[in-house]
């Protein structure tokens, strides 16, 4: 169990989490670096006691916190959980807010979109390993990049999505139900990622769009976001790709061609403090759906 944030009528949980994410987006906007652009080594934020990865908006919130505070690890836990591990949070350290949802008289459930579930959101605080003394993480669990890329290729193949390599832009064509990408040799590496990682990160972005087709997850937003619906769908695809990159062990690099969406994302998040919760929940749904294609058939 995490440590709950003391009740305070003036504390707006949704706004507190959203503002942290907005601050991280604004900090990286000039370089197109969003809080979800993380290295393969950082991966998905993970609870140090349970070994479970965080989900949904908590992933984005903890990535944002790490960016803004300069934390270099993906290990997190509550004060009491660190104590159980024999570690001590340093004096004066402030915890980072995450969210769990409760049905009445049931255990907390992480990262459900409360626009679809009548649940009560509760805030908890967790601390990064960089704020703690007395604990060493387990040995490296990452796999070599070549093996990770082979796993991504198998992951994509399992979906049986149609991928066409042609032209100069990446997109999902809903009218043809296919993904279009530039030829592989058009992708370039960076100091922190390979050209192959850039290719697969883009493919996972478009695959997230593919998952939202009417005969799959049928992802729509009604009239809630109005003219910003497409920007929100792009945010879902960005987050979905980031979750998948983290789980598959490849770097998720910035895409300058998405710079045009940054202003729209900031407007949506500033206007609606629950928008990022919805986008992260839809992205989590998409990642789970796509991962399901790789699961073995029940015997």
Give domain status of residue 197, yes or no.
yes
Q: Is residue 107 part of a domain?
A: yes
Neighbours of 159 (CB within 10 A): 19
Q: 295 Cβ partners below 8 Å, 6+ apart?
A: none
CA angle 183, 187, 192 (to 5 degrees): 155
Average pLDDT of 4-25? Answer: 81
Domain that holds residue 264: 145-292
- For the chain, the domain total comes to 2
- Which residues make Cβ contacts (< 8 Å) with residue 71, sequence separation at least 6? 65, 128, 129, 130, 131
* Confidence band, pLDDT 50/70/90 cuts, at residue 237: very high
For residue 85, how many C-alpha atoms fall within 13 Å in the half-sphere facing its CB? 24
Tokens of residue 255, six digits: 């895409």
pLDDT of res. 115: 47
pTM of the model: 0.89
Sign of CA dihedral 244, 250, 251, 254: negative
- CB burial of 168-195 (b: ≥16 within 10 Å; e: otherwise) equals eebebeeeeeebbbeeeeebeeeeebbe
Which of the pair, 111 or 206, is modelled with greater confidence? Answer: 206
Q: Is residue 140 part of a domain?
A: no
Q: What does the alpha-carbon distance between residue 121 and residue 100 come to, in Å, rounded to a whole number?
A: 6
Name the domain boundary from 87, 103, 133. 133
**Dist. CA 141–CA 270, nearest whole Å:** 37
Tell me if 187 sits within 8 A of 201, measured CB to CB: no
CB 203, CB 163: distance < 8 Å = yes
Say yes or no: 151 and 285 in one domain.
yes
Question: Is the separation of the CB atoms in 250 and 152 below 8 Å?
Answer: yes
Asked if residue 117 belongs to a domain, the reply is yes
Q: Do residues 285 and 157 share a domain?
A: yes
Residue 298, in any domain of the structure = no
Please report, rounded to a whole number, the percentage of residues in the chain having pLDDT higher than 90.
Answer: 70
Q: Give mean pLDDT, residues 132-142.
A: 84
d(CA 182, CA 168): 5
Q: Which of 99, 133, 167 is the last residue of a domain?
A: 133
Same domain for 89 and 199, yes or no, is no
Mean pLDDT, the chain, as a whole number?
89
Beta bridge partners of 173: 178
With CA atoms as reference, report the closest residue to 16 among 65, 85, 72, 73: 65
**Same domain for 165 and 121:** no
Give 60's contacts (C-beta < 8 A, 6+ positions apart).
21, 35, 36, 239, 276, 280
15 & 114 share domain: yes
How far is residue 4's CA from residue 125's CA, in Å, rounded to a whole number?
7
Same-domain status, 151 and 288: yes
Locate 129 and state its tokens: 């390993």
pLDDT value of residue 134: 97
- Is 263 within 8 Å of 30 (Cβ atoms)? no
Asked if 129 and 149 sit in the same domain, the reply is no
- Claim to verify: residue 224 and residue 201 sit in the same structural domain: yes
Q: Is 149 in the same domain as 128? A: no
138 in any annotated domain:
no
Choose one of 89, 110, 133: the last residue of a domain.
Answer: 133
pLDDT band at 129 (very low <50, low <70, confident <90, very high): very high
Residues 6+ apart with CB under 8 A from 20: 61, 64, 65, 68, 96, 97
Q: What local confidence, expressed as pLDDT, does residue 138 receive?
A: 87
Is 211 among the domain residues? yes
**pLDDT tens-digit profile of 52-71?**
999 999 999 999 999 999 99
């Amino acid at each position: 169990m995490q440590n709950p944030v003391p009740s305070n009528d003036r504390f707006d949980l949704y706004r507190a989490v959203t503002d942290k994410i907005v601050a991280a987006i604004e900090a990286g906007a000039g370089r197109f670096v969003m809080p979800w652009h993380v290295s393969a080594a950082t991966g998905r934020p993970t609870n140090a006691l349970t070994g479970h990865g965080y989900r949904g908006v908590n992933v984005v919130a903890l990535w944002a916190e790490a960016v803004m505070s300069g934390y270099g690890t993906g290990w997190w836990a509550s004060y009491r959980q660190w104590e159980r591990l024999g570690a001590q949070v340093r004096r004066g350290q402030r915890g980072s807010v995450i969210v769990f949802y409760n049905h009445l008289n049931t255990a907390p459930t992480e990262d459900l979109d409360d626009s679809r579930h009548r649940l009560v959101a509760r805030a908890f605080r967790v601390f990064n390993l960089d704020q703690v003394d007395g604990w060493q993480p387990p040995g490296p669990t990452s796999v070599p990049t070549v093996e990770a890329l082979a796993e991504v290729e198998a992951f994509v193949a399992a979906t049986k999505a149609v991928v066409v390599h042609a032209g100069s832009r990446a997109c999902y064509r809903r009218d043809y139900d296919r993904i279009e990408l530039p030829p592989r040799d058009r992708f370039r590496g960076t100091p922190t990622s390979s050209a192959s990682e850039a290719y697969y990160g883009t493919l996972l972005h478009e695959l997230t769009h593919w998952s939202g087709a009417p005969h799959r997850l049928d992802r729509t937003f009604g009239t809630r976001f109005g003219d910003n619906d497409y920007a929100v769908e792009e945010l879902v695809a960005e987050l979905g790709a980031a979750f998948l990159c983290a789980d598959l062990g490849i770097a998720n690099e910035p895409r300058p061609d998405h710079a045009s969406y940054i202003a729209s994302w900031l407007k949506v998040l500033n206007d609606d403090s629950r928008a990022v919760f919805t986008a992260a929940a839809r992205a989590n749904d998409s990642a789970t759906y796509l991962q399901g294609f790789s699961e073995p058939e029940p015997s």
